[in-house]
């Protein structure tokens, strides 16, 4: 039998819609093919590494000021980049992708020379850069940005219209990069401490971006400029523009840190449906603040904004396009039935406010930190509102979408994501670790502690792994290596003979020692298998049966087929 046959013995729920298995497989296979890569170019390195021209300066503030010209699908504007000098260098890397062009760059009113190498612009600074100084440059740019081919996965600008024929425009760019539409330091390790986003659009429409609305300028030329201020650090892919014939309504959530504003911006035609569907937001906040700690951006508020694509986790401006229905476009991706108890996009994308926007990967190779934890947030939502059994059935159900063909962690320094398994397998890794904790209070303390320890920070997977090991009081490095850096599923091999149970882990990395819980003849045992044979005396049994707790994402193999006593 192959590994997948082993797994079927313990992880597949009794009921599952085969069509959904096919859908999950196609979606994840498409994700993997989109990001699979055998070799890397200099452009990959310039985009994905902390180059010499990036390392010497630390972002402090952006003011992005952009006009959106809907008639010809173009944009124009500027970005003020403020930074703290760490080392006395004079060449700065700024990123902007074709076909957009930078027309000029200045510092203190002085024109600066720059050269372009693909998507990287190298700017020659004239003034001395003294460590500790806070300096700034201003960049002017324009052009027709890339049109999103399949947003949000293959992103850029989306130019469309609502059912009334009014323009409906949005950005989404996590994979392709924020530099697809605005000039910035396009690497996740460095974030500005705050940001002002000014967007000019037709005065018959509204722009909704991140943070809080500071004001709206009437330009007396058929346009308005909306000014949105973000007072917290923000990852650049989370910055967004959403322009449409929006109506606004809102409410207040009494949360752990006080009053949190919940604001909703939806197309005029969908207000009634939105008022009903968005009733899920407060119960969701109850669940997520319980498990993860306070919403990380009280100062900037929380928004749900309708967009012409499925949705994404833009910080404090979560975008929504799930058709005002529960499930994932009306489908339960777990096949358990529980996935239709909530609107997948509201729950999943908001979960990213804790894991992606609060705790952000410092290299895209560690994207599982975003997607694994947020995938797991779906089951924790169910746990809070429907109980642990519902959560267990859901997380077990999504296993049929796991491919186990590529490691979850990608190549570092070249802007490469890991496998699409980072979602379902990442969530199941965390669910397995919950069993290792063997205490829901400890597990909750661990999840909340992550959001305190790494509050508003960029992190590596290793930092997250070490923190969980420390909180659970055991070295889990081999367990993380198994699930994140290897494609094999651990196999619990066992044989019962002459009153003794012999058991071990196989199909594993060196030193794998995940504790598990099994049921032997309706009695629970907590075992500590290793890669060497262990033994448990079970004398006096007239018959023998062993069932692995299905909450562990592992396989089992009875070497003797339970035919001996």
Q: In a 3-state reduction of DSSP, which class is residue 521?
A: coil
Taking only the tens place, the pLDDT of each residue in 8-42 is 333 433 334 444 444 444 444 444 544 455 689 99
- Report yes or no: 141 and 103 within 8 Å, Cβ to Cβ: yes
DSSP state of 14: S
Taking only the tens place, the pLDDT of each residue in 113-143 is 999 999 999 999 999 999 999 999 999 999 9
Helix (H) or strand (E) holding 471: helix 461-472
- Report yes or no: 169 and 243 within 8 Å, Cβ to Cβ: yes
Domains in the chain, start-ordered, CATH in brackets?
3-42+331-484 (1.10.390.10), 52-243 (2.60.40.1730), 491-558 (2.60.40)
Q: What pairing do the DSSP bridges indicate for beta strands 57-69 and 194-202?
A: parallel
pLDDT value, residue 38: 62
- Report yes or no: 348 and 312 within 8 Å, Cβ to Cβ: no
pLDDT value, residue 37: 55
Q: Which residues of the chain have pLDDT under 70?
A: 1-38, 562-565
pLDDT value, residue 415: 96
Angle at 412 between CA 486 and CA 513, to 5 degrees: 30
The structure tokens listed for 362 are: 């410092």
- Report yes or no: 370 and 361 within 8 Å, Cβ to Cβ: yes
Q: In b/e form, how buried is each residue of 329-349, taking b as 16+ CB within 10 angstroms?
A: eebbbbbbebbbbbbbbbbbb
pLDDT value, residue 6: 34
In angstroms, rounded to a whole number, what is the distance separating the alpha carbons of residues 382 and 336? 12
Q: Could you identify the residue written with the tokens 């024929």? A: 165
pLDDT value, residue 39: 86
CA torsion, points 290, 292, 294, 298, in degrees to nearest 10?
-130
* Number of other CB atoms surrounding residue 408 within 10 Å: 28
């Amino acid at each position: 039998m192959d590994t997948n046959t082993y797994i079927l013995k313990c992880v597949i729920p009794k009921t599952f819609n085969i069509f959904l298995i096919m859908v999950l497989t196609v979606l994840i296979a498409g994700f993997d093919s989109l990001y699979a890569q055998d070799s890397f170019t200099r452009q990959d390195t310039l985009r994905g590494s902390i180059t010499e021209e990036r390392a010497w300066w630390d972002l402090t503030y952006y003011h992005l000021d952009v006009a959106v010209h809907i008639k010809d699908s173009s944009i124009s504007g500027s970005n003020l980049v403020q930074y703290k000098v760490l080392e006395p260098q004079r060449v700065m890397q700024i990123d902007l992708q074709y076909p957009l062009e930078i027309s000029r760059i200045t510092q203190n009113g002085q024109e600066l020379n720059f050269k372009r190498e693909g998507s990287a612009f190298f700017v020659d600074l004239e003034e001395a850069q003294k460590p500790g100084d806070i300096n700034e440059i201003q960049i002017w740019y324009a052009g027709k940005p890339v049109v999103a081919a399949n947003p949000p996965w293959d992103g850029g600008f989306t130019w469309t219209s609502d059912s009334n024929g009014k323009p409906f425009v949005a950005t989404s760019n996590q994979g392709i990069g924020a530099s697809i539409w605005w000039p910035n330091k396009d690497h996740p390790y460095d974030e500005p401490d705050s940001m002002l986003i000014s967007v000019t659009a037709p005065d018959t429409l509204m722009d909704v971006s991140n943070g809080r609305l500071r004001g709206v300028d009437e330009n007396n030329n058929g346009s308005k400029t909306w000014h949105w201020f973000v007072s917290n650090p923000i990852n650049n892919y989370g910055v967004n523009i959403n322009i449409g014939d929006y109506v606004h309504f809102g409410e207040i959530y009494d949360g752990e840190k006080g009053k949190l504003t919940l604001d909703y911006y939806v197309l005029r035609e969908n207000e009634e449906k939105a008022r009903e569907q968005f009733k899920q937001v407060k119960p969701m906040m109850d669940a997520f603040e319980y498990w993860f700690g306070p919403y990380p951006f009280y100062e900037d508020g929380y928004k749900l904004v309708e967009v012409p694509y499925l949705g994404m986790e833009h910080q404090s401006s979560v975008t929504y396009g799930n058709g005002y229905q529960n499930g994932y476009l009306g489908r339960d991706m777990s096949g358990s039935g529980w996935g239709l108890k909530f609107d997948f996009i509201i729950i999943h994308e908001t979960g990213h406010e804790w894991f992606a926007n609060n705790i952000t990967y410092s290299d895209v190779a560690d994207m599982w930190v975003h997607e694994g934890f947020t995938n797991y947030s779906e089951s924790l939502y169910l746990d809070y509102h429907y109980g642990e059994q519902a959560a267990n059935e859901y997380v077990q159900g999504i296993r049929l979408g796991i491919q186990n063909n590529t490691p979850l962690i990608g190549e570092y320094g070249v802007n490469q994501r890991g496998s699409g398994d980072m979602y379902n397998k990442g969530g199941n890794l965390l669910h397995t670790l919950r069993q290792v904790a063997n205490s829901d209070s400890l597990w909750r303390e661990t999840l909340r502690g992550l959001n305190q320890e790494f509050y508003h920070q960029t992190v590596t997977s290793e930092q997250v792994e070490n923190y969980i090991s420390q909180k659970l009081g055991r070295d889990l490095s081999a367990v993380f290596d198994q699930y994140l850096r290897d494609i094999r599923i651990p196999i619990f091999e066992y044989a019962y003979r002459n009153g003794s149970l012999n058991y071990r882990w196989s199909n594993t990395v060196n030193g794998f020692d995940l504790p598990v819980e099994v049921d032997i003849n309706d009695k629970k045992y907590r075992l500590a298998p290793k890669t060497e044979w262990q033994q448990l005396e079970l004398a006096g049994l007239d018959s023998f049966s062993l069932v692995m707790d299905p909450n562990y994402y592992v396989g089992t193999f009875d070497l003797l087929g339970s035919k001996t006593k």
